[in-house]
Chains A and B, each alone.
Chain A
Amino acid sequence: AQKVTQAQTEISVVEKEDVTLDCVYETRDTTYYLFWYKQPPSGELVFLIRRNSFDEQNEISGRYSWNFQKSTSSFNFTITASQVVDSAVYFCAHGDSGGSNYKLTFGKGTLLTVNP
């Protein structure tokens, strides 16, 4: 079965610091998908990124960047120059690859607090 581990339960930084959220996954699938979601204090889940297992290119979107390393089964998320609005719980998730079902397995989340 798939498993997603976010070892960092809570991280606290000061505004403008860079911060990296770790995500390690376990899977037997050869093709799979990885996701990051943001859950701000208001509670909704906001999709941030999807990465396919056959595409190991890193991605940058503004202050956000993702480092996917298949060799270490990691999909880490870095926020550069953090802002108070980045304060949220961040979830990493693994998506089943195929067959008649498709669902996400979530990590337990990392609470990021960015202090002014």
Chain B
Amino acid sequence: NAGVTQTPKFRILKIGQSMTLQCTQDMNHNYMYWYRQDPGMGLKLIYYSVGAGITDKGEVPNGYNVSRSTTEDFPLRLELAAPSQTSVYFCASSTQGGRTGNTIYFGEGSWLTVV
């Protein structure tokens, strides 16, 4: 059971570089999410998607971009990396939102350091 798979697990970026965090899920989930976790701050939502071709901003979207061309994939793009983007990034997915309240399942996280 692959579930939600994120790559890379660890990455060091220089200030101003760009990179893409990959996320794929094999559960045929409609909803996908990107969260970041800063020390002592819990998780904050960056972007989310309710289906292929549809994305929306979360709480902290600045400095990031996403796309959702397929149901399975939801890459997160960092343009012009800044030290403030040093964090742990979690991709997640769920079957359906709204009244069903389905559980959100998380990937294992990607540790990103910007120096």
Binding site for B on A (CB under 8 A): 4, 9, 31-33, 35, 37, 43-45, 47, 50, 52, 91, 95-109
Q: Which residues of B contact A109 (CB under 8 A)?
A: 40, 42
B103 engages A102 (CB within 8 Å) = no
CA distance A24 to B41 in the complex (A): 16
Q: A44-B109, A97-B99, A101-B48 are known contacts. Are A108 and B104 too (CB-CB below 8 A)?
A: no
Contact count A vs B, C-beta below 8 Å: 74
B43 engages A106 (CB within 8 Å) = yes
Question: Chain B interface: which size bin?
Answer: 20 to 34
CA distance A104 to B43 in the complex (A): 9
Tell me, yes or no, whether B24 is within 8 Å of chain A by CB. Answer: no
Binding site for A on B (CB under 8 A): 31, 33, 35, 40-45, 48, 50, 56, 58, 88, 90, 94, 96-99, 101-109, 111
Dominant SS among interface residues on chain A: loop
Listed from nearest, the 8 A-B pairs whose CB atoms lie closest are: A102-B97, A33-B101, A45-B106, A108-B42, A106-B42, A106-B43, A98-B98, A44-B108
In chain A, what residue has the closest Cβ to B96? A102
A98 engages B40 (CB within 8 Å) = no
**A5 shortest CB reach to chain B, Å:** 10
